[in-house]
Amino acid sequence: MKRMTTAAGLALLGLAVSACATQATGELSSRAPPSTSDPASAASYAPIDPERLSQLTRAFAADELQGRAPGTEGERRTIEWLSGQFAALGLEPGGENGGWTQRVPLIRTQVQSPASFSVRSHGETLTLQSPSDIYVSTVRAAERARIEAAPMVFVGYGVSAPERQWDDFKDADLTGKVAVFLVNDPDFEAQPGDPVAGRFGGQAMTYYGRWAYKFEEAARRGAIAALVVHETEAAGYGWNTVEAPAGENYNVVLPPDARQPVLLQGWIQWDAAADLLRRAGQDLAAVKRQARTAAFRPIDLGATLSADLPVTVEAVESHNVIARLPGASRPDETIVYGVHWDAYGIGPADARGDRIRNGAHDDALGTAAMLEVARAFREGPPPERSIVFAAWTAEERGLLGSEYYARNPLYPLETTVANITLDTLQSAGPARDVILIGEGQSEMEDWLARMAASQGRRVTPDSHPERGLFYRADHFSLAKRGVPVLLLMALGGGADLVQGGREAGDAWVTRFTADCYHQPCDDWSADWDLRGAAQDGSLAYRIGRELAFTDVWPGWREASEFRAVRERSAERRR
């Protein structure tokens, strides 16, 4: 990339673009955004203004907001700024008690030392070293996590998927036990011709492959702990990523009558797990092959785990920030836009001495795009359905703000038409395509394709479905409860950029991920070309606008793991 030339060119373009988009917005006040076949034209991103996106992002990623960590002074300033923006746009407060916020009570837990882990297996006592053999944390509000001689059971992939005629648990009772899982889903390593091939989306990861699912399934079955056997390729990351949180974890505060999570959750190294199986007369590689068949049955390891860990638990009071534009004729039907306002706050200094992790792309830019979508709605005719604009907290702590909302929705989920989430948009310029994350999940991808075509863009499926990005942003909290979703995110593979093509798009993703993702260098820059992010904002607007003026309810595809839960409330949408 010729950096100087590009930056100079963009500065000029920025001015031209801005003038043109302002004009376009005026004309657009009563009609749909223009259709174009040219993704490099202003019509492709109308009515979103890249210059305004830049200024909003600059303000929201400023050092004054201290990296927007939940429960800090940075949060107070964030709420003030966001609610001020919402109010200036003429939106209604969409939070609790007529205000802009929904209170989100969280806990932060930190495992302290000394932590001890021992396994009693066939007459011998083995010590597991933390964090080299085993890494655990807790999301329960317990000052001490203690397990005494809990039986260990190997549950294979630990999948219970009636819609795929698959049940790894059979009649095994996990109450009070330690469940040991394989990572990913049963067909991840299937060979062609293998009966399991394609049953769980092939290389693409389903929800059943995620550790989050496995921990939840273990809790549903009354297990006291859940351990996933680590394999770098199947997990998608190394042990260094597993142990990086250093015993820290977060959760929403659960009501006393809610199902409690497992007491300890985490990972065990392949070699340590293989040793336990060997002592039980089994070979881990061989039982893994068995686990790729529907006939698999849980294996009692003939071993018990004892663990004792001091834990500190801290209450963190945080908030979602929510605005609403009431629907003119069907206000009870809601389209929810979502972004996350939080970033990583203040941390260790980087090479430049910068300590503030401003989260400029992730997700100040998405937030700016959502504000521009809100502006576009306000400047157009009033939508028939209501539009909710939600800035969730604590996404980076485990999708917790959106999870709290999904557990305590302010607008019923049964009549929430769809959720459109903007999380981490790119700054590398206009694109000829948009990356679809979660291909085959819902009819939202048809709306995406139609509206992308109106921008002169086409849809390209995520190039790394095995990483399971679809399960790793806030839209997922709503998907789990059946709301059809769409995630616009720049990390699912490089876009086909108007300047430089796929190669340039991939290079942007690689550079951003390696250097800046969650680091102080994710900072606002005047050199950004936000026409691509504006295209994505415009796309989000176009889809939401279409949905807001129809009575259509987009549905899940037949094969989706989320179809069944939506179907249960079908009556509410007739």
Distance, in Å, from the CA atom of 334 to the CA atom of 566, rounded to the nearest integer, reads 15
**Of the two residues 401 and 482, which places its CB atom closer to Zn ion in the complex?**
401
| Token code pair at residue 440 | 């085959």
**Of the two residues 68 and 164, which places its CB atom closer to Zn ion in the complex?**
68
| Token code pair at residue 356 | 């503030």
127 CB-contact burial (10 Å; exposed 0-12 / middle 13-18 / buried 19+) = exposed
Decide: helix, strand or coil at residue 249: strand
CB of 65 to Zn ion, least distance (A): 16
Q: Which of 75, 168, 362, 523 binds Zn ion (CB under 5 A)?
A: 362
DSSP string for residues in 311-344 = EEEEEEEEEEEEEEE--SSEEEEEEEEEEE----
Phi/psi region, residue 533 (left: phi>0; alpha: psi -120 to 50; beta: rest), is: alpha
Segment interacting with Zn ion, rule: CB under 5 A, options 84-92, 327-335, 359-367, 475-483? 359-367
CB of 235 to Zn ion, least distance (A): 20
CB of 395 to Zn ion, least distance (A): 6
Question: Between 73-88 and 50-60, two packed helices, what is the crossing angle to 10 degrees?
Answer: 150
Q: Which of 363, 372, 466, 496 binds Zn ion (CB under 5 A)?
A: 363
CB of 343 to Zn ion, least distance (A): 8
CB of 175 to Zn ion, least distance (A): 37
Element (H or E) spanning 433, and its range? strand 433-436
CB of 133 to Zn ion, least distance (A): 32
First to last CA, the chain: 54
**Of the two residues 134 and 365, which places its CB atom closer to Zn ion in the complex?**
365
**Of the two residues 44 and 320, which places its CB atom closer to Zn ion in the complex?**
320
**Of the two residues 361 and 542, which places its CB atom closer to Zn ion in the complex?**
361
- Please list every residue from 117 through 136 that binds Zn ion, using CB under 5 A: none
The closest alpha carbon to 434, from 442, 500, 426, belongs to: 426
The 10 Å Cβ neighbour count of residue 273 is 25
**Of the two residues 298 and 401, which places its CB atom closer to Zn ion in the complex?**
401
Could you tell me how many residues of this chain bind Zn ion (CB under 5 A)?
A: 3
**Of the two residues 44 and 519, which places its CB atom closer to Zn ion in the complex?**
519
Binding to Zn ion by residue 49, rule CB under 5 A?
no
Looking up tokens 């102080």, which residue turns up? 520
**Of the two residues 363 and 523, which places its CB atom closer to Zn ion in the complex?**
363
The closest alpha carbon to 398, from 252, 518, 265, belongs to: 252
CB of 318 to Zn ion, least distance (A): 16
- Please list every residue from 550 through 569 that binds Zn ion, using CB under 5 A: none
Query: Are 499 and 518 in contact, with CB atoms under 8 Å apart?
Result: no
- Please list every residue from 408 through 427 that binds Zn ion, using CB under 5 A: 423
Segment interacting with Zn ion, rule: CB under 5 A, options 34-42, 356-364, 439-447, 500-508? 356-364
The closest alpha carbon to 276, from 229, 241, 242, belongs to: 229
CB of 431 to Zn ion, least distance (A): 19
| Interacting residues with Zn ion (CB under 5 A) | 362-363, 423
